[in-house]
Amino acid sequence: MKQLLRQLFSPLLVRLEAGDQPYSYKSSHRTILFFMSFVFSALGVAVFVVSPGADLSYLIPVTLFGGGGLLGLLMAYLASDRGIAKIWGNR
């Protein structure tokens, strides 16, 4: 399953994992990325549950927070150590 998802998201992963420069990676970076992505996803779901009404403008934060959280969860699960270090900006 992970290999299939890596193939599906390869355009994003190739950009993150490119390069041969040294990088600084700690396992806590991946853990923090998982946690923060989960928080953003939960925030998107909370806004969706609490705010429905006649005005559809509440879908903007749902899309931004939910989409960002989902993307972060996928990258935390699929990216290599180099990709995680690149997300954090470590060189």
User: What's the pLDDT at 90?
Assistant: 66
Measured distance CA(81)–CA(13) in Å, rounded: 11
Question: Angle at CA 62, nearest 5°, toward 86 and 11?
Answer: 35
pTM for the structure as a whole:
0.84
Mean pLDDT of residues grouped by 10 in the chain (91 residues)? 90 87 89 96 94 86 94 93 86 56
Our count of domains for the chain comes to 1
Residue 21, domain extent: 2-88
Q: What is the pLDDT of residue 89?
A: 83
Confidence at residue 21, expressed as pLDDT on a 0 to 100 scale? 84
CA dihedral for 35, 9, 1, 24, sign (positive or negative):
negative
